[in-house]
Amino acid sequence: MSTTQNLKERLASARTTLAAAGQSHVLAYANELTEPQLADLLSQIESVDWPEVTRLIQSHVKNTPKFKLPQKLDPAPWYPNDPGLKLREKYQKALALGRQLIRRGKVAAFTVAGGQGTRLGWAGPKGTYAATPIRGMSLFGCMAEYIRKTQTKYNTIIPWYIMTSPVNDAATRAFFKDNQYFGLAGENVMFFPQAMMPAISMVGADTGKVLMDGKGQIALSPNGHGGSLKALYTSGAIADMKKRGIEQISYTQVDNPIVRVVDPLFIGLHALDGCEMSSKMLPKAYPKEKLGNFCIVDGKMTVIEYSDLPDALAEERTADGELRFRAGSIALHAIRVDFVESLNLKGDFGLEFHRAEKKVPYLDAQGKRVIPTANNAVKLETFVFDALPLTKKSIIYETDRVDEFAPIKNADATGPEPSVDSPITAKRGQTERAGRWLEQMGVPVARDAQGRVDAVIEISHLTATEPQDLYGVKLPLEVKRGDRVLL
Ligand code: UTP
């Protein structure tokens, strides 16, 4: 069949599908497109599950799903950061098991990097953003160095799977190629794109219409990090893991330069307790901190979003004055390979979609592209933590803010006060962690009146992924006020 003939057939079939979904306008400019442009638009149309979109428009766009607070809601228990006497032995066992799993090549790193990073406003994939305070190493580079160091320490290979989106896949691959995979073997770094969802208008009579970004372009965006659980399977990543003998996936986000990409203690606790998917938590700094809350609902591990937890519960305190709902989710998980596989083998597997109202540029009825100044569209996303209630067993492990949490979400502020979770706070976070590690090694570090490190320190993950790695490294005798130290 000629390409033109083939296009004609695809066009006819797309017209039928779109008519049934009430979205015929998607092809309104089809006859103005060149053949390659039309082929591209048809591929976009074919990639969308239109019956599902139609159902979601009804439930999530024309209506707003109401969150129903479960009747019985308890805080989830967790393994504390400090094991104390009671848990010391268990942590030793878990650490030994975690280390053994890594050494035996049973653990893969997995980074979700398909997001659009709109708040940061960086033109490239977020992982290419220069995150460290002295070298300006990229987020991907920080993780690659972590993996390299861990591979050397354990004399093993840690395959790295990176979920991209169709929008940033090519740029992500090119970035790794340009940087020679940061010293990793290319055959052990795998990329795969996640699925996309159309943005839907929520304005007046257009409510429920799929937005167009151009005459040959649907306003598509990634379907949320929850899409990773399907994409891991459909991309062949799970099959590749099984071929390599991988049993556990260490799941991290792309936006945290100090994340423990592979953490033997956490993986060990998760494996020792026979869990399918586990999580790390941070104790919330204040009741309404924007972190999901780990709860137990009907005996199942569940994350309740900060916006859904009533103030009265968020502010409730225990007898010792601590927040009762204290465990905040920072999107770090350990996931068993066979759990992801089993979810996908159940034909109807799909996480619940969440509604997010956003500003999405669109073509108006005259074919003019409009950049909206107010929210005009609903984006539909699934969240990976919604898989937690599907587990039979799931644990939480408490990590430490200074040791592991310096996310880059927002752009730097223009005023004197840094915005939260921005490049500036992430650089300070990296310095704080480095300062703490040096002090643990006996190096005096200058601190200001608020107790913050009063210098800039960067420790490459090639040098150390934990303080013990600093034994044998030539350290400064002290870090003085205003020093810039790179190790
Ligand atoms: P965020 O929720 O912070 O979203 O993603 P984002 O897309 O990076 O940034 P904004 O909201 O547009 O400013 C948390 C993590 O989940 C990944 C992101 O790449 C990031 O690592 N993610 C998010 C995906 O992989 N796919 C998605 O569809 C959404």
Q: What would the pLDDT profile of 383-429 be if each residue is shown by its tens digit? A: 999 999 999 999 999 999 999 999 999 999 988 888 999 999 999 99
Q: Which residue in 339, 343, 345 sits closest to 278, CA to CA? A: 339
Pocket residue to mutate for ligand 1, from 118, 163, 255, 383, most atoms within 8 A of Cβ: 255
**CA angle at 410 for the pair 407 and 411, rounded to the nearest 5°:** 120
pLDDT score, position 349 = 79
* Chain segment 78-102, per-residue pLDDT in tens: 999 999 999 999 999 999 999 999 9
Between the CA of 136 and the centroid of ligand 1 the distance, in Å, is 21
Q: What whole-number distance in Å separates Cα of residue 64 and Cα of residue 353?
A: 11
Question: How far from chain centre, in Å, is Cα 8?
Answer: 40
pLDDT score, position 350 = 82
- Residue 212 amino acid letter: M
For tokens 């073509």, name the residue: 363
The mean pLDDT of 141-145, rounded to a whole number, is 98
Instruction: Kindly write down the DSSP assignment for every residue of 374-400, as one continuous string.
Output: S--EEEEE--GGGGGGG-S---EEE--
Closest-lying ligand 1 atom to the alpha carbon of residue 221: 28
Percent of the chain clearing pLDDT 70 (strictly above): 100
Instruction: Check if the beta carbon of residue 163 is closer than 8 Å to that of residue 193.
Output: yes
Q: What pLDDT band is residue 4 in, cutting at 50, 70 and 90? A: confident
Between the CA of 113 and the centroid of ligand 1 the distance, in Å, is 7
* Chain segment 359-368, per-residue pLDDT in tens: 999 999 999 9
Q: What whole-number distance in Å separates Cα of residue 397 and Cα of residue 390?
A: 19
The mean pLDDT of 450-479, rounded to a whole number, is 98
Closest-lying ligand 1 atom to the alpha carbon of residue 164: 25
Q: CB neighbours of 185 closer than 8 A, spacing ≥ 6?
A: 157
Between the CA of 225 and the centroid of ligand 1 the distance, in Å, is 7
- Residue 454 amino acid letter: D
**CA angle at 464 for the pair 481 and 141, rounded to the nearest 5°:** 95
Closest-lying ligand 1 atom to the alpha carbon of residue 223: 28
Q: Which helix (H) or strand (E) holds 6?
A: helix 3-21
Closest-lying ligand 1 atom to the alpha carbon of residue 407: 3
Q: What whole-number distance in Å separates Cα of residue 408 and Cα of residue 119?
A: 9
Closest-lying ligand 1 atom to the alpha carbon of residue 252: 21
Q: What whole-number distance in Å separates Cα of residue 247 and Cα of residue 242?
A: 7
The mean pLDDT of 236-247, rounded to a whole number, is 98
For tokens 């039309």, name the residue: 38
Helix, strand, coil tally for the chain in percent (to 5): 40, 20, 40
Handedness of CA 65, 67, 68, 73 (dihedral sign): positive
Q: CB neighbours of 440 closer than 8 A, spacing ≥ 6?
A: 467
Within 6 A (CB) of ligand 1 lie 112-119, 126, 163, 194, 222-225, 227, 253-255, 381, 409
Q: What whole-number distance in Å separates Cα of residue 135 and Cα of residue 123?
A: 20
Q: What whole-number distance in Å separates Cα of residue 119 and Cα of residue 286?
A: 23
**Atom 5, ligand 1: residue with shortest CA distance:** 115
- Residue 45 amino acid letter: I
Q: pTM for this structure?
A: 0.97
**Atom 28, ligand 1: residue with shortest CA distance:** 224
Pocket residue to mutate for ligand 1, from 194, 254, 381, most atoms within 8 A of Cβ: 254
pLDDT score, position 364 = 94
The mean pLDDT of 209-226, rounded to a whole number, is 97
SS3 state at 253: strand
Q: What whole-number distance in Å separates Cα of residue 191 and Cα of residue 161?
A: 6
Pocket residue to mutate for ligand 1, from 116, 359, 383, most atoms within 8 A of Cβ: 116
Instruction: Check if the beta carbon of residue 56 is closer than 8 Å to that of residue 23.
Output: no
Q: What whole-number distance in Å separates Cα of residue 115 and Cα of residue 288?
A: 24
Between the CA of 117 and the centroid of ligand 1 the distance, in Å, is 6
Q: What whole-number distance in Å separates Cα of residue 304 and Cα of residue 383?
A: 11
Q: What pLDDT band is residue 346 in, cutting at 50, 70 and 90? A: confident
Q: Which residue in 176, 209, 227 sits closest to 383, CA to CA? A: 227
* Torsion angle (degrees, nearest 10) of CA 431, 432, 438, 443: 100
**Atom 27, ligand 1: residue with shortest CA distance:** 224
Q: At what angle do helices 237-244 and 337-345 cross, to 10 degrees?
A: 140
Asked if pLDDT for residue 242 goes beyond 80, the answer is yes
Between the CA of 11 and the centroid of ligand 1 the distance, in Å, is 33
pLDDT score, position 1 = 63
Q: What is the DSSP letter of 76?
A: P
Instruction: Check if the beta carbon of residue 382 is closer than 8 Å to that of residue 352.
Output: yes
Percent of the chain clearing pLDDT 90 (strictly above): 96
pLDDT score, position 224 = 97
Closest-lying ligand 1 atom to the alpha carbon of residue 381: 28
Q: What is the DSSP letter of 57?
A: I
**Atom 9, ligand 1: residue with shortest CA distance:** 117
